[in-house]
Copies of this chain bind each other. A is one copy, B any other.
Amino acid sequence: MAKVDTSLVAHLPLFAGVKPEDLEEILREARSARYPKNTAIFEQGADAQSFFLLLHGHVRAAKTTPTGEQIVVRYVAPGETFGLAMAIGTAHYPATAMAVDDSVVLIWPTSAWPRLVERFPAIAANTLQTVGARLQESHTRILEMSTQQVEQRVAHALLRLAKQSGKKLDHGIEIDFPISRQDIAQMTGTTLHTVSRILSGWESQGLVESGRQRIILRDPHKIVLLSERTADSGPA
Protein backbone atom coordinates (compact mmCIF):
# COMPACT_ATOMS: atom_id res chain seq x y z
CA MET A 1 0.00 0.00 0.00
CA ALA A 2 1.28 3.44 -0.90
CA LYS A 3 2.24 5.44 2.14
CA VAL A 4 0.76 8.92 2.27
CA ASP A 5 2.95 11.61 3.64
CA THR A 6 1.29 13.69 6.31
CA SER A 7 2.67 16.86 4.82
CA LEU A 8 0.46 16.34 1.82
CA VAL A 9 -2.73 16.59 3.80
CA ALA A 10 -1.85 18.35 7.05
CA HIS A 11 -3.00 21.71 5.80
CA LEU A 12 -6.46 20.52 4.73
CA PRO A 13 -9.48 21.95 6.52
CA LEU A 14 -10.51 18.44 7.52
CA PHE A 15 -7.43 18.14 9.70
CA ALA A 16 -7.34 21.63 11.14
CA GLY A 17 -6.43 21.41 14.79
CA VAL A 18 -5.17 17.84 14.57
CA LYS A 19 -1.66 17.24 15.88
CA PRO A 20 0.87 15.81 13.42
CA GLU A 21 1.37 12.61 15.36
CA ASP A 22 -2.38 12.11 15.52
CA LEU A 23 -2.60 12.72 11.83
CA GLU A 24 -0.17 9.89 11.33
CA GLU A 25 -2.49 7.62 13.21
CA ILE A 26 -5.50 8.76 11.24
CA LEU A 27 -3.79 8.15 7.95
CA ARG A 28 -2.79 4.68 9.01
CA GLU A 29 -6.43 3.71 8.88
CA ALA A 30 -6.79 4.83 5.31
CA ARG A 31 -5.78 3.18 2.12
CA SER A 32 -5.29 4.95 -1.14
CA ALA A 33 -6.62 4.04 -4.54
CA ARG A 34 -6.51 5.29 -8.07
CA TYR A 35 -9.58 5.62 -10.27
CA PRO A 36 -9.04 6.07 -13.99
CA LYS A 37 -10.99 8.69 -15.86
CA ASN A 38 -14.69 7.86 -16.23
CA THR A 39 -14.85 5.15 -13.62
CA ALA A 40 -17.41 5.16 -10.83
CA ILE A 41 -16.14 5.41 -7.26
CA PHE A 42 -19.48 4.59 -5.75
CA GLU A 43 -23.06 4.40 -6.95
CA GLN A 44 -26.11 6.15 -5.64
CA GLY A 45 -28.03 3.86 -3.33
CA ALA A 46 -25.12 1.53 -2.58
CA ASP A 47 -24.11 0.73 0.99
CA ALA A 48 -21.89 3.48 2.29
CA GLN A 49 -18.91 1.37 3.23
CA SER A 50 -16.27 4.06 2.91
CA PHE A 51 -15.68 7.75 2.91
CA PHE A 52 -13.14 9.53 0.80
CA LEU A 53 -10.64 12.31 0.53
CA LEU A 54 -9.65 13.36 -2.95
CA LEU A 55 -5.90 13.76 -3.32
CA HIS A 56 -5.62 14.26 -7.02
CA GLY A 57 -7.95 14.55 -9.99
CA HIS A 58 -11.60 15.54 -10.11
CA VAL A 59 -14.78 13.78 -9.14
CA ARG A 60 -18.35 14.51 -10.16
CA ALA A 61 -21.14 13.79 -7.69
CA ALA A 62 -24.47 13.33 -9.45
CA LYS A 63 -27.96 12.41 -8.37
CA THR A 64 -30.39 10.50 -10.55
CA THR A 65 -34.18 10.53 -10.42
CA PRO A 66 -36.28 7.38 -10.63
CA THR A 67 -37.06 8.42 -14.20
CA GLY A 68 -33.43 8.69 -15.16
CA GLU A 69 -32.82 12.41 -15.19
CA GLN A 70 -29.58 13.48 -13.60
CA ILE A 71 -28.27 16.55 -11.89
CA VAL A 72 -24.71 17.32 -10.94
CA VAL A 73 -24.58 17.88 -7.20
CA ARG A 74 -21.03 19.19 -7.26
CA TYR A 75 -17.54 18.71 -8.53
CA VAL A 76 -15.04 17.59 -5.94
CA ALA A 77 -11.64 19.25 -6.06
CA PRO A 78 -8.42 17.87 -4.56
CA GLY A 79 -8.34 18.25 -0.80
CA GLU A 80 -12.09 17.87 -0.39
CA THR A 81 -13.91 15.00 1.26
CA PHE A 82 -16.81 13.16 -0.33
CA GLY A 83 -19.01 10.18 0.33
CA LEU A 84 -19.60 11.25 3.92
CA ALA A 85 -22.94 9.48 3.93
CA MET A 86 -22.71 7.99 7.35
CA ALA A 87 -21.23 11.02 9.01
CA ILE A 88 -24.46 12.72 8.09
CA GLY A 89 -26.59 9.78 9.04
CA THR A 90 -27.29 7.79 5.92
CA ALA A 91 -26.43 4.16 5.34
CA HIS A 92 -26.49 4.59 1.57
CA TYR A 93 -24.77 6.97 -0.76
CA PRO A 94 -27.24 9.63 -1.88
CA ALA A 95 -25.40 10.23 -5.15
CA THR A 96 -23.03 8.62 -7.60
CA ALA A 97 -19.37 9.64 -7.62
CA MET A 98 -17.46 9.39 -10.84
CA ALA A 99 -13.86 10.26 -11.60
CA VAL A 100 -13.89 12.75 -14.46
CA ASP A 101 -10.12 12.63 -14.64
CA ASP A 102 -7.62 10.09 -13.43
CA SER A 103 -8.00 10.50 -9.69
CA VAL A 104 -6.32 9.41 -6.49
CA VAL A 105 -8.24 9.15 -3.25
CA LEU A 106 -7.75 8.20 0.35
CA ILE A 107 -10.35 5.74 1.60
CA TRP A 108 -11.44 5.13 5.14
CA PRO A 109 -13.91 2.44 6.09
CA THR A 110 -17.14 3.93 7.33
CA SER A 111 -16.66 1.95 10.51
CA ALA A 112 -13.63 4.06 11.34
CA TRP A 113 -15.65 7.26 11.52
CA PRO A 114 -17.15 6.97 15.01
CA ARG A 115 -13.77 6.09 16.42
CA LEU A 116 -12.01 8.94 14.67
CA VAL A 117 -14.61 11.42 15.78
CA GLU A 118 -14.37 10.25 19.34
CA ARG A 119 -10.60 10.40 19.49
CA PHE A 120 -10.33 13.62 17.46
CA PRO A 121 -13.38 15.77 17.99
CA ALA A 122 -11.88 18.46 15.80
CA ILE A 123 -12.70 16.27 12.85
CA ALA A 124 -16.40 16.39 13.62
CA ALA A 125 -16.25 20.15 14.01
CA ASN A 126 -14.33 20.54 10.77
CA THR A 127 -16.72 18.32 8.91
CA LEU A 128 -19.64 20.26 10.30
CA GLN A 129 -18.12 23.37 8.79
CA THR A 130 -17.66 21.85 5.36
CA VAL A 131 -21.11 20.35 5.31
CA GLY A 132 -22.45 23.70 6.46
CA ALA A 133 -20.65 25.43 3.63
CA ARG A 134 -22.13 22.98 1.16
CA LEU A 135 -25.56 23.64 2.58
CA GLN A 136 -25.10 27.32 1.97
CA GLU A 137 -23.98 26.68 -1.58
CA SER A 138 -27.06 24.60 -2.15
CA HIS A 139 -29.25 27.40 -0.89
CA THR A 140 -27.50 29.81 -3.18
CA ARG A 141 -28.11 27.47 -6.04
CA ILE A 142 -31.80 27.21 -5.17
CA LEU A 143 -31.97 30.97 -4.97
CA GLU A 144 -30.42 31.28 -8.41
CA MET A 145 -32.68 28.70 -9.94
CA SER A 146 -35.67 30.49 -8.50
CA THR A 147 -34.80 34.00 -9.48
CA GLN A 148 -32.40 34.05 -12.41
CA GLN A 149 -32.57 33.27 -16.06
CA VAL A 150 -30.60 30.46 -17.55
CA GLU A 151 -27.86 32.66 -18.94
CA GLN A 152 -27.10 34.16 -15.53
CA ARG A 153 -27.10 30.75 -13.92
CA VAL A 154 -24.65 29.39 -16.46
CA ALA A 155 -22.43 32.41 -15.90
CA HIS A 156 -22.46 31.84 -12.16
CA ALA A 157 -21.76 28.15 -12.56
CA LEU A 158 -18.74 28.74 -14.79
CA LEU A 159 -17.37 31.42 -12.50
CA ARG A 160 -17.68 29.08 -9.55
CA LEU A 161 -15.95 26.29 -11.42
CA ALA A 162 -13.20 28.65 -12.47
CA LYS A 163 -12.71 29.74 -8.90
CA GLN A 164 -12.62 26.21 -7.58
CA SER A 165 -10.68 24.53 -10.35
CA GLY A 166 -9.48 27.21 -12.71
CA LYS A 167 -6.07 27.13 -14.29
CA LYS A 168 -4.71 30.54 -15.15
CA LEU A 169 -3.59 30.90 -18.72
CA ASP A 170 -2.24 34.06 -20.24
CA HIS A 171 -5.36 34.34 -22.37
CA GLY A 172 -7.89 33.47 -19.69
CA ILE A 173 -8.89 30.90 -17.12
CA GLU A 174 -9.40 27.30 -18.11
CA ILE A 175 -11.60 24.92 -16.22
CA ASP A 176 -9.15 22.25 -15.30
CA PHE A 177 -11.08 19.09 -16.05
CA PRO A 178 -13.26 17.75 -18.85
CA ILE A 179 -16.76 19.14 -18.67
CA SER A 180 -19.49 18.91 -21.28
CA ARG A 181 -22.46 21.16 -22.09
CA GLN A 182 -24.58 18.41 -20.68
CA ASP A 183 -22.74 18.62 -17.36
CA ILE A 184 -23.27 22.34 -17.19
CA ALA A 185 -26.93 21.88 -18.04
CA GLN A 186 -27.21 19.46 -15.14
CA MET A 187 -25.61 21.97 -12.81
CA THR A 188 -27.92 24.79 -13.76
CA GLY A 189 -31.22 23.09 -14.36
CA THR A 190 -31.45 23.48 -18.09
CA THR A 191 -30.78 21.48 -21.26
CA LEU A 192 -27.55 20.91 -23.12
CA HIS A 193 -29.11 22.65 -26.12
CA THR A 194 -29.64 25.85 -24.25
CA VAL A 195 -26.15 25.72 -22.78
CA SER A 196 -24.71 25.18 -26.22
CA ARG A 197 -26.59 28.18 -27.61
CA ILE A 198 -25.43 30.36 -24.74
CA LEU A 199 -21.79 29.36 -25.07
CA SER A 200 -21.94 29.83 -28.84
CA GLY A 201 -23.22 33.32 -28.25
CA TRP A 202 -20.50 34.08 -25.76
CA GLU A 203 -17.85 32.64 -28.01
CA SER A 204 -18.86 34.96 -30.82
CA GLN A 205 -18.51 37.87 -28.40
CA GLY A 206 -15.08 36.68 -27.33
CA LEU A 207 -16.12 35.96 -23.75
CA VAL A 208 -15.16 32.32 -23.84
CA GLU A 209 -13.28 29.86 -25.93
CA SER A 210 -14.54 26.35 -25.79
CA GLY A 211 -14.60 23.01 -27.43
CA ARG A 212 -15.13 19.39 -26.67
CA GLN A 213 -15.42 19.15 -22.88
CA ARG A 214 -13.20 22.17 -22.53
CA ILE A 215 -13.98 25.74 -21.55
CA ILE A 216 -11.75 28.76 -21.20
CA LEU A 217 -13.06 31.99 -19.77
CA ARG A 218 -11.39 34.65 -21.86
CA ASP A 219 -13.04 37.60 -20.21
CA PRO A 220 -14.05 36.67 -16.67
CA HIS A 221 -14.92 40.22 -15.81
CA LYS A 222 -17.53 40.54 -18.52
CA ILE A 223 -18.95 37.21 -17.45
CA VAL A 224 -19.30 38.55 -13.95
CA LEU A 225 -21.23 41.47 -15.37
CA LEU A 226 -23.42 39.05 -17.28
CA SER A 227 -24.05 37.00 -14.18
CA GLU A 228 -25.27 40.08 -12.36
CA ARG A 229 -27.49 41.38 -15.08
CA THR A 230 -31.15 41.05 -14.21
CA ALA A 231 -33.88 40.33 -16.73
CA ASP A 232 -34.59 43.96 -17.39
CA SER A 233 -31.29 45.71 -16.71
CA GLY A 234 -29.37 47.06 -19.63
CA PRO A 235 -29.55 46.20 -23.30
CA ALA A 236 -29.12 42.73 -24.66
Contact = CB atoms under 8 A, between A and B. Distances in A.
Q: Which of A87, A138, A186 has the most CB of B within 10 A?
A: A138
A132 B186 contact: no
A196 to B, nearest CB: 17
Interface of A: 63, 65, 67, 69, 71, 73, 84, 87-90, 94-95, 117-118, 121, 124-125, 127-129, 131-136, 138-139, 141-143, 145-147, 186, 189, 230
Contact of A63 (B67, B127, B139, B186): B139
A139 B87 contact: no
A88 B139 CA distance: 14
A141 B73 CA distance: 11
Contacts of A136: 88, 90, 94
For the residues of A in contact with B, the DSSP-based class is helix
A139 B65 CA distance: 12
A131 B121 CA distance: 17
A91 to B, nearest CB: 12
A128 B124 contact: yes
A142 B84 CA distance: 19
Contacts of A142: 71, 73, 138, 141-142, 145, 189
B90 A132 contact: yes
A152 to B, nearest CB: 11
10 contacts: A63-B139, A65-B143, A69-B143, A71-B147, A73-B139, A87-B132, A88-B128, A124-B125, A141-B142, A145-B145
